[in-house]
Structure formats: structure tokens, C-alpha cells
Amino acid sequence: MIEKPQYNFVNRVEDTYPFDQITLDNTIRFINPLLPSEEFPHMMNTLQISLAALALVSALAVLNPARYFFNGNSVISPNTLARASSPSVNPASISPLDSGDVSMKDDRIARISSTIRIIPDFPKPGIMFQDITTMLLDPVAFKDTIDLFVERYKNKDISVVAGIVTIRGVHQTAQTAKPPAPHRTTPYNAIWNICGVEARGFIFGPPIALRIGAKFVPMRKPNRLPGAVISEEYSLEYGTDIMEMHVGAVQAGERTLVVDDLIATGGTLVAAINLLERVGAEIVECACVIELPDLKGRDRLGDKPLFVLISSN
Amino acid sequence: MSAGENGDPDGRINGIKSALRVIPNFPKPGIMFQDITTLLLDPKAFKDTIDLFVEHYKHESISVIAGIEARGFIFGPSIALAIGAKFVPLRKPKKLPGEVISEKYILEYGSDCLEMHVGAVKSGDRALVVDDLIATGGTICAAINLLERAGAEVVGCASVIEVPDLKGRERLKSHGKELYVLVESQFEPTTQ
């Protein structure tokens, strides 16, 4: 009759199995506690407890690196444990902001990132789709997203009186697409235009434009914009697509941002950049909520800087 | 109701109206297309547009702004941000990832379909539908159906422009829904 201990916190095989029952098989089971055992099918010994604890700590460390491996430059990872429910949500690793007050923005980016969900195999198998619509359901996260962009691009020298920004001059009639002439005291480094790429760029671009007093210029699929347009053909994985912009929406020399929800390969943003350069605009930066760095979109932008809130591997 | 019913004391509506343009024969002959993109090139007029919507709805306890792809995406999110509501995009088929509900609706020739994410709105939500323009009201009615199927209460519909002859307002009224617009469409064609 083998005496089975109720709690076994020793780590010697001789204390787990009676001496005359120490066999090669039992010893192997002792070393690898994950193997089921007839005598002790559910009992955990010290080794099993240690391994379980180590696995838990490792999992926590992976999901919260800033907590366990402090790096002065990194931003806190999102708390994905609270959101681990179907449809699947994966942690998005965070890239540090390259300027500005990082410590203040940490909490906001963590919240924003935790609201973005990932839909696997959309629009086709193998693609992990970053869905920002869940962020739009969280008014604080959406507002924080816009605030982060506005803080970067708002020229603090522009006087804002009761929300009316001084970028206006002659009031234009409906006949032309020409924008109002700039006010003389507007600083030269103000942003004139936000270009948003259809359709998710339409969600983020206009709120930023409204806050910084810039024009919003939609860039659309073919045959959507009425009137005179210029078109740019660009490559997709299979085949090509066309992006269009209104003639006269952007004037030569105007400082311009391009905004989209996400940059992947960068093909769409490059098409937008080409359209703007054809009319002589000065492209200050491309701004996206999410970057997929593995797809190397940033490199395709060439000399055009890219600013993102979240970098997702 | 339209925003101009009580006059235009601060000239905001006039500013908005004069920032719009009409392109004849787009997308096909006979259609006078109301183009809002010129409004977006006038930061003051664009801001006034959003302000007028926010002023009209901010005391209605609206929890959801539903914007219809794609021009509803230009106006809806800013209204949502200003009043602290969720923004829910209503999209053409196969654009939204994950689980959706669909509503088919009739066009002049054929039919189209509008989709919304499952779980975006829930029972108890008070929703406002936003688009740039209402014509016959077919698309907006599809949007109302989607929201009501998900259990939301549709408080009203808002658009920048109304084309009165196409009777969209009457169609909404027959569903018991109020329509708020800023501008009634102009019919004079404008040259570029």
C-alpha cells in the first residue's frame, strides 16, 4: 500500500515515490511532471508548481514588458488580458513617439491600442486585419487619437478666437474649387491641407483639419469626385487601382499632411504623395494611427516622414 | 426642419451655402450633383457646419452617430467627438471586417446593401443618422432599419443638403423620423 502524501513540497524522487517503487518510468515522470501518472494523476509536486509559476511569470513578462523589463524609452504595453475575448484581440506592440511628452501620452496610447481589434483572415486568408471601428466606439480613445495628432501639428502661433482660425481671407463663391486666400499673419510653417484617403482616412482627417484650421481634401477611388480631377494609377498586389483628387483643391507650395488609418506596404500613401507632388504641394508628413512595420511601408515613403501612434507586429 | 427656418443671424448658413457647388450631369446626364468638397476647403464654413449640427443635437442624449459611407464619414465623426457619442460607420458590403448585419434597399435601377457591425449599437442607444445629402431617402431608411434591428432608438436624421423635390423628408416622416438639414439644394449649375 503506497502512502500518498496530501501535500508534496519536496523535490526528491525518493520522497515522491516509495523507495521500492522508484523505476525509470517514475523517474521520467518526476522529471517531466506533465506526464500523467497512475498514482498521482492530479497531484502537483514542487517541480510542477515551479514550472507553472515560471510559465505564468513569463506570460506576464511578454504581455507587459515595461513592467518586467523597464526600458526608459518604451511605452507601456496595452492591457490585453482584460480584452482577451473573441473575436481575437492580439496585443499590439507600441513604438515610442519620437517627440513630445511621451510620459503623458503613454496612458492614452495604451487605451487606444486596447480598443483596436484584429480580425484574422480578412479580407482574405492570411491577413490579420486591424479594425479601428472598435476604437470609434470608445469616445475617449477616439478623442485621444485626434488629440495626439492635433498636438503634433497644431501651430501654436495660429490665433484661435472662439474656435475661428485665422486662415481665411476672400470668401470664395461656389463656382470654383479654389480655397480662401491665406491670412497674412499665418505663420509660414502652418499646415494648410489635410488629405485623407477614402474611406477610413475620412474618419480621422476631418477632425484633425477642423482642430488645426486646415482644409480637408478627400482622395478618392475613380469616378467618385465630381468635376475636374487628376488621377494617379498605383500598383496593388494583383493589378492596379486609381486614386483621384480635385483640381484646385491644393495649391502649389501649400504645406500638406496625408492621413490614413493604417500604413501597410505604403502603396496607397505613395499614390497620394505623387498626386500632391504633381500639383506642387509640400508634403510635411504622413500620419497614420497604425503601422505594420514588417511590410516596410515607411521605407517606400522615401524622404517623406511618417508619424504613427501604434506599431503592430 | 431646416437650420434656416429661424433666419440666419450670424450668416453661418449663408457661408455654408455659398461654399457648396453644383456640378451638372454627374454622375450621369440630368443629375445636378451637390458637391460638398468645396465646403471642406473653407475651414470656417466646415466648422460652422459641424457646430450647427452639434448645437441642434447636443441636448438630445445621443449616444451613437451613424455615418453613411463615404461622405457621412466626413461629417459624422466630428459631431460624435463634440457630443461624446460613439461613431458607427455604415458601409457598402464586404468592407467591414468581422460579423455584420445587412440591409438591402431599392435603387432606381436594381438594389444596394448597407452593413453595420454586430455589437456596435445596442438596445438603449439613441442614434442619429448622418450623411452629406438626402435625396429620395432610400439610403437613410436602410440605415434606420439597421439601427432599429440592432435595438437602437433612431432619434433623427441629419444632412447638410436636402433635395426637396425627391421627397426624402416625407419618406422619413412616414417612418416617424425627424430630418434636420442645413441647406436646401441649389439648382443653378456652376461653371468651374
Return the higher-pLDDT residue of A66 and A64: A64
The per-residue pLDDT for A35 is 57
- In chain A, the percentage of residues whose pLDDT exceeds 70 is 57
Instruction: Say which of B55, B60, B103, B108 is annotated catalytic.
Output: B108
Name the amino acid, one letter, at A166: T
**pLDDT digits over A244-297, tens only?**
999 999 999 999 999 999 999 999 999 999 999 999 999 999 999 999 999 999
> Quick one: average pLDDT of A225-243?
92
**Looking at chain B from residue 32 to 91, which residues have their Cβ under 8 Å from any Cβ of chain A?**
33, 35, 37-38, 40-44, 46-47, 50-51, 69-71, 73-75, 77-78, 80-81, 84-89, 91
Which of B37, B44, B86 is nearest residue A218 as measured by Cβ atoms?
Answer: B37
A24 pLDDT more than 90 = no
A65 pLDDT more than 70 = no
The per-residue pLDDT for B187 is 58
B71 has catalytic annotation: yes
List chain B pLDDT tens, one digit each, 192 residues.
Answer: 788 877 888 899 999 999 999 999 999 899 899 999 999 999 999 999 999 999 999 999 999 999 999 999 999 999 999 999 999 999 999 999 999 999 999 887 789 999 999 999 999 999 999 999 999 999 999 999 999 999 999 999 999 999 999 999 999 999 999 999 999 986 544 444
The per-residue pLDDT for B108 is 74
Which of A168, A174, A207 is nearest residue B77 as measured by Cβ atoms?
Answer: A207
> Quick one: average pLDDT of A42-52?
64
A75 pLDDT more than 60 = no
The per-residue pLDDT for A162 is 31
The per-residue pLDDT for A66 is 46
The per-residue pLDDT for B190 is 47
Instruction: Report the candidate in A292, A237, A231, A284 with the shortest Cα–Cα distance to residue A261.
Output: A292
A87 pLDDT more than 70 = no
> Quick one: average pLDDT of A226-246?
92
The pLDDT confidence band at residue A25, using thresholds 50, 70 and 90, is low
- Residue of B12, B38, B87 to mutate when probing chain A, most A C-beta within 10 A: B38
Instruction: Report the candidate in B183, B192, B191 with the shortest Cα–Cα distance to residue B18.
Output: B183
Name the amino acid, one letter, at A290: I
**pLDDT digits over A156-186, tens only?**
433 333 333 333 333 333 333 455 544 434 4
B108 has catalytic annotation: yes
> Quick one: average pLDDT of A136-147?
97
**Cis peptide bond upstream of B27, omega within 30:** yes
Asked if A227 lies within 8 A of B192 by C-beta distance, the reply is yes
The per-residue pLDDT for B179 is 96
Q: What is the mean pLDDT of chain A?
A: 74
**Looking at chain B from residue 91 to 130, which residues have their Cβ under 8 Å from any Cβ of chain A?**
91, 94-99, 117, 120
